[in-house]
A and B are shown apart, each in its own frame.
Chain A
Amino acid sequence: MSSEIKFGRAINQALRECMAADDAVIVIGEDIAGAGGSFGVTRGLLNEFGEHRVRDTPISEAAIVGAAVGAAMCGLRPVVEIMFMDFVTLAMDALVNQAAKMRFMFGGRASAPLVLRTPHGGGLSAGPQHSQCLEAWFAHVPGLKTVCPSTPADAYHLMKAAVADPDPVIFIENKSLYGASGPAPQAENAVAIGEAKTLRAGTDLTILAYGAVCRDALKAAEMLASEGVSAEVIDLRSLQPWDKDAVLASVARTHRLVVVHEAVRDFGPAAEICAHVAEFGFFDLDAPPERVAAPFMPPPFAPDLERVFRPNAEAIIEAARRSVS
């Protein structure tokens, strides 16, 4: 048995195990059964569990998620795939006004424990309507949880945690990670939603990231080490709830912060993180917090333009140098 697994396969394995363990878990979405999903994440589930539990839907995002809310209220555990994160706009009512509100507006009598899986991010020249990172919207809604893993093992564990979670979870998969391999998950290393992970210890600054840009952050830390700068890299893994304690503790040690994400900069997740650190860790900071993010504009199509649009290790290194200078 290989000790390495690809990101998409790790999610597939988690889904398979969840479905085997609990009949209430079903998988629905567009082209997810026969075709195994646009990125192959649900491949093989149809054969193993049948069309009763692995269901292709019409192209009707609003009703797919709305129906999943209803099914979840009745005890099912739907795992919905929305093919591209850009398409969640069509399901926002079901997510924001229905799923997120069930527990609260019914005084704790109801809940909608569904998982919505969706890929975000660029790198495929998929253009302005198939490349966006819209996670900040969800992190802004009380009643939803939002996770965005960066490694196959974390993806596996967070998917298991998401399916088991009593509340709706938005599970975001960066497209550029699907083909990436990493150590296979170990059953004993379960990950709870809301727990950050230190990917690399350091003393001079904290680089905070989530999703695919964690790899860029590690690359940057490697380069910075050769310049004599010791960067700590933290993978946030969950955006809502997010691990405020881990971030503040790291900043208290390093006194410098660079937050990285592929989502556009303005009002992005880094804005909230930097604001929180400024409020509660202000006197630990020796430099202004830095943000490394996509510019505030739609994702472009042309490969050359997209390369400029997406944050990379060089941009992180520049920000780190500014911070430590």
Chain B
Amino acid sequence: MSDKKADAVEEPNTGQQKVEAEAVERRTSKSELLKYYEDMLLIRRFEEKAGQLYGMGLIAGFCHLYIGQEAVVVGMQGAIEEGDQVITGYRDHGHMLACGMDPKGVMAELTGRKDGYSKGKGGSMHMFSRDKQFFGGHGIVGAQVPIGAGLAFANRYKENDRVSLTYFGDGAANQGQVYEAFNMAELWALPVVFIIENNQYAMGTSVKRASSEVHLHKRGASFAIPGEEVDGMDVLAVRDAGRRAVYDARRGEGPTILEMKTYRYRGHSMSDPAKYRTREEVQGVREKSDPIEHAKRMLLAADWASEDELKELDKSVKAVCQEAAQFSQDSPEPDPEELYTDVLAEA
């Protein structure tokens, strides 16, 4: 097992840090931290429910769960304003929920039903909401990066002050078109923040085995794009780094690369037994660095919530996910006629 250990990159280490009430109060407020906690919990419970439905055969195809990475998207959402855009790859359920998309519509898309966000045509990887400024949900590794730059290009062109958050993984960081987009984004000072969710494994290949430079935040150096490594298991650290990057992007300073050191607890997809890493490695991260546990300890330390209140919150979040799961099974299958629509604009 020693070679597997050697594969693992540095473990994020959030949880072991001491949580002191004073420090928490300095960094955030009660309502804010409670909201982050609830948003992360919603993603966690939603994904657990999706995993269950998948196991029951109610979800077909691919299903990439976000469990473990919740602090990244929730923290970044805390860094942006209404109207800013989000685009990501295929591990996208968390992003959609964080953007405020309806869990019912997301789950019903996972089950391929009529009331899913994409009417059952896209599935887990492909949903979109103009209303919530979520631009997908893309299945080709790295392809969302030039598109995210294009969103920023349109913002710049319209002078609308909006910023595009463009997420991708450590795997996508080795795709060529990402670097074309980096160059273009910096050259034209586009209002985009590139967020690398470094969960340490590109499918089954660790960052070390796939990347000559494992510090992915340095990948913008030759384009003069500043990069920052961020503890992606600490929602407040993510938010703070996000705010700096978003501020720069919005005032015309161009892109920043934020490398979020994070970890996915589940396999790459539901069909991945994750034999490329040890059970102990996963367990270690869960115990030491879980982003939700971390937020919980901050809430308790600051005395902003009691254990009982958090249990109640968990109950209500679980109810939302249960309702979504029920909805996703009650919603009808798509009409066969639907197959032929939405290929082109209907005349």
A residues with CB within 8 A of B: 26, 52, 57-58, 60, 62-76, 93-94, 97-98, 101, 103-111, 142-143, 145, 166-167
Of B127, B154, B184, which is within 8 A of A58 by CB? B184
A78's nearest neighbour on chain B, judged by CB, is B150
B residues with CB within 8 A of A: 85, 87, 116-122, 126-130, 135-140, 143, 145-155, 157-158, 164, 176-177, 180-181, 183-184, 187, 341-345
Q: What residues of chain B lie closer than 8 Å to A101, measured between beta carbons?
A: 126
Enumerate the 4 nearest inter-chain pairs by beta-carbon distance, A residue then B residue, closest first.
A70-B150, A66-B146, A63-B180, A107-B118
CB proximity of B103 to chain A, nearest CB, Å: 17
CB proximity of B345 to chain A, nearest CB, Å: 4
Question: Could you tell me if A74 and B151 are in contact, using CB atoms closer than 8 angstroms?
Answer: yes
Question: Could you tell me if A73 and B121 are in contact, using CB atoms closer than 8 angstroms?
Answer: no
CB proximity of B192 to chain A, nearest CB, Å: 10
CB proximity of A80 to chain B, nearest CB, Å: 11
B129's nearest neighbour on chain A, judged by CB, is A109
B342's nearest neighbour on chain A, judged by CB, is A108
A69's nearest neighbour on chain B, judged by CB, is B147
Q: What residues of chain A lie closer than 8 Å to B119, measured between beta carbons?
A: 107-108
Question: Could you tell me if A105 and B129 are in contact, using CB atoms closer than 8 angstroms?
Answer: no
Q: What residues of chain B lie closer than 8 Å to A106, measured between beta carbons?
A: 117-118, 121-122, 126-128, 136-137
Question: Could you tell me if A26 and B157 are in contact, using CB atoms closer than 8 angstroms?
Answer: yes
Question: Could you tell me if A110 and B130 are in contact, using CB atoms closer than 8 angstroms?
Answer: yes
B121's nearest neighbour on chain A, judged by CB, is A107
Of B146, B151, B164, B341, which is within 8 A of A62 by CB? B146
Question: Could you tell me if B342 and A57 are in contact, using CB atoms closer than 8 angstroms?
Answer: no
Residues A69 and B344 in contact in the complex (CB < 8 Å), given A52-B157, A98-B143, A109-B130: no
Q: What residues of chain B lie closer than 8 Å to A62, measured between beta carbons?
A: 146, 176-177, 180
Question: Could you tell me if B157 and A104 are in contact, using CB atoms closer than 8 angstroms?
Answer: no
Question: Could you tell me if B181 and A63 are in contact, using CB atoms closer than 8 angstroms?
Answer: yes
Question: Could you tell me if A66 and B122 are in contact, using CB atoms closer than 8 angstroms?
Answer: no
A-B contact pairs, 12 of them (CB 8 A): A60-B183, A62-B176, A70-B146, A70-B150, A74-B154, A93-B177, A94-B143, A94-B146, A104-B342, A105-B137, A107-B116, A110-B136
Task: Report Cα–Cα, A277/B55, bound state, in Å.
Answer: 48
